[in-house]
Amino acid sequence: MGGQAQAHANRREDQQEATLRRRRELLEAADRVVLREGPEASMNAIAAEAGITKPILYRHFGDKSGLYRALAQRHTDALLGTLRAALDRPGTRRERVEATVDAYLTAIEGAPQVYRFLMHPTDQAGADTEKGFDAGRHSAPLLRRLGEELAAIIGERLDLGPESAQVARAWGHGIVGMMYAAGDWWLGEHPCSRERLVHQLSDLLWGTLAVAADAPDGPGL
């Protein structure tokens, strides 16, 4: 009896692993289409890229909103890893601030179509049944998550006084909002080099951050 139960558990684990592996493959196919087509990427094109029918794609993600959320999770995780690495690099606090701003701008510059898919709506939804899908409506949770994650890092590393937690959240969301707005403008117009914009944004951030004390038990910023 115990052997049958174990065999059943093993089969269930194998099925779960196969489902997760297939989901990763579908997300990689979606990434390839988004890299080519940006916000105009359709469920039809993604299904064709993956070599499946659209109903099978729906079975994994539900609809375009579900696929969007999965892609947003994937790219936000990668971006957060990149930003944390920049904050942890050797150097002065100013150098780490500049490295973090540069990491964000490098990420959106390196994959502009992915950025536009995640952050901008499209009027080209007619190719799909998901008429009216609006990536802009879904981008707020992505920015909020980035703000909360950055706030947690700031709270760990800086002593901001008796209201440290609230100040860290204000700074986290404010910095993300600034980088998003400035990066969006810069990506659309390219009025200056990335290096120049990094320096300008770091100057803006540098005021209070320059004199803030490190948290007593934190790794410092």
Range(s) of the domain holding residue 137 = 64-214
Contact 115, 108 (CB under 8 A): yes
pTM metric for this prediction:
0.79
- Provide the pLDDT for residue 127: 44
- For 136-186, how does the pLDDT look when each residue is reduced to its tens digit (9 = 90+)? 556 778 899 899 999 998 888 888 888 889 999 999 999 999 999 999 999
Produce one character per residue of 53-76: b if its CB has 16 or more CB atoms within 10 Å, e if not. Answer: ebeebbebbeebeebbebbbebbb
Q: Is 42 part of a structural domain of the chain?
A: no
Lowest mean pLDDT among 87-91, 107-111, 177-181, 209-213: 209-213
Q: CB under 8 Å, gap of 24 or more: what pairs does 140-146 form?
A: 141/72, 142/72, 142/76, 142/118, 143/176, 143/177, 143/180, 144/173, 145/76, 146/76, 146/79, 146/80, 146/176
State the pLDDT confidence band at 14, using cuts at 50, 70 and 90: low
- For 36-60, how does the pLDDT look when each residue is reduced to its tens digit (9 = 90+)? 988 888 889 999 999 999 998 888 8
The sign of the dihedral angle between the CA atoms of 137, 81, 95, 159 is: positive
Residue-averaged pLDDT of the chain: 84
Mean pLDDT of 85-95: 90
- For 92-114, how does the pLDDT look when each residue is reduced to its tens digit (9 = 90+)? 989 999 999 999 999 999 999 99
What span, in angstroms and rounded, lies between the C-alpha atoms of 98 and 152?
Answer: 19
| DSSP 8-state assignment for residue 212 | P
**Higher per-residue confidence, 38 vs 129:** 38
- Provide the pLDDT for residue 138: 61
Identity (one letter) of the amino acid at 180? Y
124 exposed, middle or buried (CB, 10 Å; 0-12, 13-18, 19+)? middle
CB half-sphere exposure, 28, CA atoms < 13 A: 7
Q: Is 43 part of a structural domain of the chain?
A: no
- Provide the pLDDT for residue 129: 44
Please report, for the domain that includes residue 192, its CATH number: 1.10.357.10
- Provide the pLDDT for residue 7: 64
CA distances in angstroms from 39 to 18, 30, 72, 96, listed in the order given: 29, 12, 13, 32
Number of domains in the chain: 1
Token code pair at residue 194:
């990335």
Q: Is 48 part of a structural domain of the chain?
A: no
- Provide the pLDDT for residue 16: 81
CB half-sphere exposure, 172, CA atoms < 13 A: 25
